[in-house]
Chains A and B, each alone.
Chain A
Amino acid sequence: KAGVTQTPRYLIKTRGQQVTLSCSPISGHRSVSWYQQTPGQGLQFLFEYFSETQRNKGNFPGRFSGRQFSNSRSEMNVSTLELGDSALYLCASSLEGTGEEKLFFGSGTQLSVL
């Protein structure tokens, strides 16, 4: 079974630009979560999607948005990039997204904002 796939692996953008990151979950998984990881803040929860609906949201500004498609693939978008958005963005999938389920993470997209 293929794991969680994130594209691209690396991205370099400049301030003010926008970026779209993609995540393909494990086949059969319907819940997709996004996390931001930085050395200073650790792993921060962005949002979770289940059946094309955002079900949970972390404490991030509205510049961070996402969506999920009918095949469970998900994208996240960051508009008007700031230097502080430089981070590793991780996607994780699970079957139903309930608390007792294990999360399977992708290798992440390393975003650098110059």
Chain B
Amino acid sequence: QKEVEQDPGPLSVPEGAIVSLNCTYSNSAFQYFMWYRQYSRKGPELLMYTYSSGNKEDGRFTAQVDKSSKYISLFIRDSQPSDSATYLCALYTNAGKSTFGDGTTLTVKP
């Protein structure tokens, strides 16, 4: 079983929809939770970063962490065609060990 399981895609939504992207994990040592966005033929870029349970909001993006359930989510409000990309959850331990989800490819149709 993988340490991090990410909801498989692909996901296709109409412009303006609310998107929910999810990951579950099994290792309690993970303390830092990040979401990266990766456009085709590019490296991942950091979108959201959090280390505590609860919600963190940044514009149209909200990252949610539930450490008790070992569940993290990324919500995108008012989705735009420019949000079409692959989204990766990434979890880190204190020792710097990083584990990424397999990614969910999102397409937002105009």
Q: How far is the CA of A108 from the CA of B94 in the complex (A)?
A: 26
A107: Cβ under 8 A from any B Cβ: yes
The chain A residue with its CB closest to the CB of B100 is A43
What chain A residues lie within 8 Å of B60 (beta carbons)? none
Q: How far is the CA of A99 from the CA of B93 in the complex (A)?
A: 6
Shortest CB distance B35–A (Å): 11
Q: How far is the CA of A44 from the CA of B103 in the complex (A)?
A: 12
Could you say which interface size class chain B belongs to? Answer: 20 to 34
Contact B99 A45 (CB under 8 A): yes
Contact B100 A108 (CB under 8 A): no
Which residues of chain A (11-59) have a CB below 8 Å from chain B? 31, 33, 35, 41-45, 48, 55-56
A63: Cβ under 8 A from any B Cβ: no
Q: How far is the CA of A4 from the CA of B45 in the complex (A)?
A: 11
Shortest CB distance B94–A (Å): 5
Specify which of A42, A44, A102, A105 is in contact with B43 (CB 8 Å cutoff): A105
| Contact sample, A vs B, 25 pairs, CB 8 Å cutoff | A41-B102, A42-B100, A43-B44, A43-B100, A45-B97, A45-B99, A45-B100, A56-B95, A56-B96, A90-B43, A98-B94, A99-B92, A99-B93, A99-B94, A99-B95, A99-B98, A100-B31, A100-B32, A102-B49, A103-B34, A104-B46, A105-B43, A105-B44, A106-B43, A107-B42
Given A100-B32, A103-B90, 8 additional A-B pairs, CB 8 A: A42-B103, A43-B88, A45-B98, A56-B95, A99-B92, A99-B97, A102-B34, A103-B44
B residues touching A (Cβ–Cβ < 8 Å)? 31-32, 34, 36, 41-46, 49, 51, 88, 90, 92-103
